[in-house]
Amino acid sequence: MFNIRNTILIYAALFFMQFVAPPSAPAQESSDREYAIKAAFIYNFVKFVKWPERELHPPGNLTLCVTGADPFGPALEKLAEKSKTTENKLIVQRGVNPDGAAQCHLVFVGGPDGVHLERVLDAVKGKPVLTVGDSPGLAQKGVLINFFIEDNKVRFEINVGAARRSGLVVSSELLNLARIVEGGSGK
């Protein structure tokens, strides 16, 4: 499942991503690069999270849904195209209603809106759905993986309680790279 080759690949990808966005880049270009990096992280997260076999319909396909604000531009489609040659083909759905999040394997929760977040977390409660966000405090509120910026680098935190409740298995390699968070609303 999680072998040395995959571990080396994720370490290499994470290392090189730190240098993609120079501090002198214009604001829009910097934002585009930031979300290209976050999209690449999401793509790599898939390699280090295991879903129950019964949840992959059809086998090998993973649906990534974006709900709320969508800052990714074309970055997700580029990764979906790249994924066609890998074990898990990524299918991107944008503009997904929070109540439909349970039909997805991964859900990016865009924006810090509390009501929107609660609807997403209610919809996926107890289901093997990898929730990802990028607003302060989302991991503490129950999102499984949340991005944050530290020292001008994209980092991520993992809510281990949310992982446990979802039934997803997060590899120790990924956990070792993350800031670990406990808490959440039990969703």
Q: Output the domain CATH number for residue 127.
A: 3.40.50.2300
In a domain, 9, yes or no: yes
The Cα 14–Cα 29 span in angstroms is 20
Q: In total, how many domains does the chain have?
A: 1
pLDDT, residue 19, reads 43
Domain-embedded: residue 138: yes
Residue 187 located in a structural domain = no
Contact yes or no for 130/174 (Cβ under 8 A) = no
- Domain membership flag for residue 77: yes
Is residue 186 in a domain?
no
Give me the domain span that covers residue 18: 4-181
- Residue 93 in any domain: the answer is yes
Q: Is position 152 within any domain? A: yes
Q: Which residues in the chain show pLDDT less than 50?
A: 15-25, 187
Per-residue pLDDT of 77-97, as tens digits, reads 998 998 876 777 899 999 999
**CB contact at 8 A, 35 and 69:** no
pLDDT in tens, 16-38: 444 444 444 455 567 889 999 99
Buried b (16+ CB within 10 A) or exposed e, 162-183: bbebbebbbbebbeebbeebee
Predicted local confidence at residue 20, as pLDDT = 44
CB of 145 within 8 A of CB of 122? no
* Residue 31 counted as domain residue: yes
For position 83, what pLDDT does the model report?
Answer: 82
**pLDDT confidence of residue 21:** 44
Residues 175/160, Cβ–Cβ less than 8 Å: yes
Q: Give the C-alpha separation, 50 to 52, whole Å.
A: 7
